[in-house]
Structure 1
Amino acid sequence: MIKDFFSNFFGRNNDPKSIVSFDVIDSVYTSLYNGENRLEIKLKGIYDTVSVNLYSFPNSFNNEEAQSEIKKAGFKNAYEVLNEIYKKLNIGAVSEEDIQAELEFDYIHIQFYTEPTPETKKYLKHVLHNFIIFFCCTNSLETNDFRMIYNNSYFLDYTKGILDAEYIDINDPKNDTQKIGFKEFERVLQGICQYLEIELPESIELPSQENLLPEDVEITQETFEEFIKLVSRGNVDDKLVQKQSKKLLKNFKKGHTEYHEIVQGHWAFFEIIDAWNSDWKFDPEDAEAFISEMIGEDLNFEYPEETYSHDLFPYIQSALEKRDLELMTYDTHGDNYLFFVANKNDVGRILELSELTKIEINQL
């Protein structure tokens, strides 16, 4: 496999202070090439896993599904697809001689989720980001640079997805979704390096000073007790906390995989705290009434006329923020919400405990 080909660019992506630099990317490539070329990595603060894959043209497209996608996109073979991407990146095309020699050209595809923007939070809980890295040469006969394309869509048709991705400058996001994704990419890249045990140069300004790999944490009754106290804001009797935490731990250890088995115990738990089980459609009057009941005081908030359901969240949160509170929900995986109110300074820890206990909690 090779990754040596020409670029028409004069500046290299190798800022010694940035983690998004050729030296770092090349180290990741070398680790993938010499070891496992497909990774699923769990990082702190990232929903689900980070997917890291080393693919190549044409080898990764030598299957029936990919060949069908290539023809559907109007191309004859994988090299034509690659040259179309190179055109977008201003990288010189693969020559006919190299095609006949069946040379392979490697690239890295990194995929992860982030929180959505406030606007998209109305209808999305997480946003997918795809960063696809191609290697090239800048004023050199050897690989010394890279270019990236990006999109935030699911690759249901992989060939179409990679063709639709746009060339990006990591330092120049075009919208709020890209701002979130590009910034998080730096932290994700640091986590990948940590996972692969790649030693980073001291000159790099690290996006995070913490260990990004999750530590092995023993889940105990105390873990669930802390969770209950935080989501209830301490408004549950201690004996009930102990009783419920024992039940939750017992169910956790059973390792249920069926949906109804997982949520049955969770629903029983939320019945003991101030929570609001609501249909996905609700009006502002219901929100004011139920949230007032949950927090023990009248909550009134201003909102535009004809505003309902999830469109009310920004106005509800704004009113609660004045009380250092935040509305959250248990993820029912259905068409309803199970709302509760948390102290704002406890939200981060609640989300951490949610991940540990597998009781899925979402911000709104």
Structure 2
Amino acid sequence: MINIFSNLFNRNNDPKSIISFDVIESIYGYLYHESNSIEFKMKGIYDSVLVNLYSFPYSLDHEEGREEIKKAGFNNAYEVLNELYKKIDIGALSEETMQQGLEYDFIHIQFYSEPGPETKKYLKRVINNFIIFFCCTNSLETNDFKILYSSTHFLDYTKGLLDTEKLDIDNPKTETQQIGIKDFKKVLQGICQYLDLEIPETVELPSTENLLANEEATEADFEEFIKLVSRGNIEEKELKKQSKKLFKNYKKEAKEYHSIVEDHFAFFESIDAWNSDWKFDPEDAEYFISDLIGEDFTFEYPEETYSHELFPYIQSELERSNLELLTYETYGDNYLFFVANKDEVERILELSELTKIEVNQL
């Protein structure tokens, strides 16, 4: 176990930031004393948040880990650790220290974020890996931490660690890092809520809401979802009828519900959607979006631009009216587009997760 000591000086502990030693130390304490692995769902975060406490050398001390270390060109886990320490300016372990067989803990927090405009052309979501190492800053006691970051999947865990780079929370290098850091702040708040850990009063919370996702959807959730994706363009009687039907289907077994979800699309297309092949022209977009929003819609785009390459130009024009184009996940090679009020998109995505009717941003 590392020796955690709250030194008031020379440590990474901005009292206003949730990315601080006091918050991360409390998470570490739970992982060390209670459970070294947690998984939970949060509002606004796709899929589960994974939080694990690992250590050198023991977390790599198995056949697969030893093969990964050898393939990476190292003799043991401590050499891998020293390579990581170089990235974050932590002093290397001496040969004598390695021989003592001491344990060096680190926290791995993993979750998905929405990609930025450029990345969105290729990926629906980006994975974030925050690797947190504790250290000493002008102190003999552990009073600080450093973070390594990666936005790739760790198929080979040792290689995944070695491919990470030092993260400067205040100066992200890329848009992906910037989005990941913004979500990381919410995730830390969500972890504290999930584990019932106290957050210092000085911390400026990323959200005033309860960030934990509800385990089960309710009929009211389906009703709210339909209202939002239709922008209120549905009769109250039909709204009640359809939300009751969707909720009834939702309560069926998972395998059966997955096939039922595909049948929902006829209803969503009827209330306000454009069913398109994966390949479409700008003129198609202008015609159908005009129909969806009830007014003439035109947008500027470069010549010889088609299909998904049109999305940034469509979104820029819709944004002028506080609107955004989204699509239901049809599990096929077609889109089922709809237009939503931009300030309601985050809630639509939360309800999408809850109701299992998947919606994708473009």
> 1:13-45, CA deviations, whole angstroms, 9 ceiling, x for partnerless residues?
122232222222211111100011111122222
Contact 1:47 1:113 in 2 (8 A): yes
Task: Give the corresponding residue for 2:68.
Answer: 69
Q: CA deviation at 1:114?
A: 1.5
**How far has the Cα of 1:52 moved from its partner?**
0.6
How far 1:75 moved relative to its partner? 0.7
Relative to structure 1, is the Cα distance of residues 227 and 212 closer, same or farther in structure 2, using a 3 angstrom cutoff?
closer
Q: Which of 314, 317, 326 is the matching residue for 1:319?
A: 317
Larger deviation, residues 347-356 vs 258-267: 258-267
Distance in 1 between the 2:305 and 2:118 partners? 14
The 1:239–1:209 alpha-carbon spacing in structure 2 relative to 1, beyond 3 Å, is closer
Aligned to 1:278: 276
Query: Which blocks of at least 5 consecutive residues in structure 1 are unaligned?
Result: 5-9
- 1:296 correspondence with 2:294: yes
C-alpha contact (below 8 Å) 1:251/1:265 kept by paired residues: no
Shift of 1:184: 2.0
CA distance in 2, matches of 1:352, 1:260: 18
Displacement, 1:54? Answer: 0.1
Q: Residues 96 and 209 from structure 1, CA distance in 2 versus in 1: closer, same or farther, beyond 3 angstroms? A: same
Of the candidates 264, 269, 272, which is equivalent to residue 266 of structure 1?
A: 264
Deviation at 1:175, TM superposition (A): 1.8
Q: How much does 1:304 deviate?
A: 0.7
Q: Judging changes above 3 Å, is the alpha-carbon distance between structure 1 residues 268 and 173 closer, same or farther for their aligned structure 2 residues?
A: same
Task: State the AA in 2 paired with 1:289.
Answer: Y
Partner Cα separation in structure 2 for residue 350 and residue 192 of structure 1 = 23
2:180 aligned partner, one-letter code: G
1:259 Cα deviation after fit? 7.7
1:202-247 superposed Cα distances (whole Å, 9 cap, x missing partner): 2222222222223566502x43233223322333344433333232
- How far apart are the structure 2 equivalents of 1:14 and 1:260? 46
Q: Per-residue CA shift, 1:242-285, capped at 9, x if unaligned?
A: 33323211210103226851433322322422322222222212
- In structure 2, how many angstroms separate the alpha carbons of the residues matched to 1:289 and 1:208? 39
Amino acid at match of 1:357: T
Contact 2:214 2:354 in 1 (8 A): no
- 2:72, 2:159 within 8 Å by CA — same for their partners in 1? yes
Report if the CA contact (8 A) 1:136-1:144 is conserved: yes
AA partner of residue 190 (structure 2): G
Equivalent-residue separation in structure 2 for 1:180 and 1:274 (angstroms):
31
Alignment match of 1:227 (pick from 217, 225, 228): 225
Distance (whole Å) between structure 1 residues aligned to residue 57 and residue 190 of structure 2? 29
Q: Give distance in 2, aligned partners of 1:348 and 1:89.
A: 35
Q: 1:15 to 1:274 in 2, by over 3 A?
A: closer
- C-alpha change, 1:89 and 1:325, in structure 2 (3 Å) is closer
| Residue pairs, 1:136-155, within 5 angstroms | 136-155=135-154
Note the alpha carbon deviations across 1:62-87, whole angstroms, 9 max, x for none.
Answer: 12221111111101111110111112
Structure 2 unaligned blocks of 5 or more: none
Who is 2:93 aligned against? 94
Counterpart of 1:43, as a letter, is M
- Residue 116 of structure 1 aligns with an amino acid whose one-letter code is P
Letter in 1 for 2:305: T
- Equivalent residues in 2 for 1:152-301, closer than 5 Å: 152-215=151-214, 219-220=218-219, 222-257=220-255, 261-301=259-299
Whole-Å separation in 1 of the counterparts to 2:237 and 2:203: 51
The answer to which of 149-158 and 181-190 deviates more is: 181-190
Q: Conserved in 2, the CA contact under 8 Å of 1:280 and 1:309?
A: yes
From 298, 307, 310, the counterpart of 1:309: 307
Identity of aligned residues (%): 70
Q: Is the 8 A contact 2:58 2:103 kept in 1?
A: yes
Paired residue type of 1:107: F
Task: Indicate how the Cα distance of structure 1 residues 45 and 212 shifts in structure 2: closer, same or farther if over 3 A, else same.
Answer: same
Per-residue CA deviations over 1:161-208 (Å, capped at 9, x if unaligned) read 111111122111112221111122122112212222221222222222
SS of the residue 1:130 aligns to:
strand
Partner Cα distance (2:119, 2:257) in 1: 27
Offset, 1:124: 1.8
Moved more, 74-83 or 336-345: 336-345
| Residue deviations 1:101-135 (CA, integer Å, cap 9, x gap) | 22111000111111211221222222111110111
Query: What's the counterpart of residue 347 of structure 1?
Result: 345
RMSD of equivalent CA atoms: 2.2
AA at the equivalent of 2:310: L
Partners of 1:112 and 1:140 in 2: CA distance: 32
- Tell whether the 8 Å contact from 1:46 to 1:112 is kept in structure 2 after alignment: yes
Equivalent in the alignment of 2:122: 123
| Structure 2 length-normalised TM | 0.91
Size of the aligned set, in residue pairs, is: 358
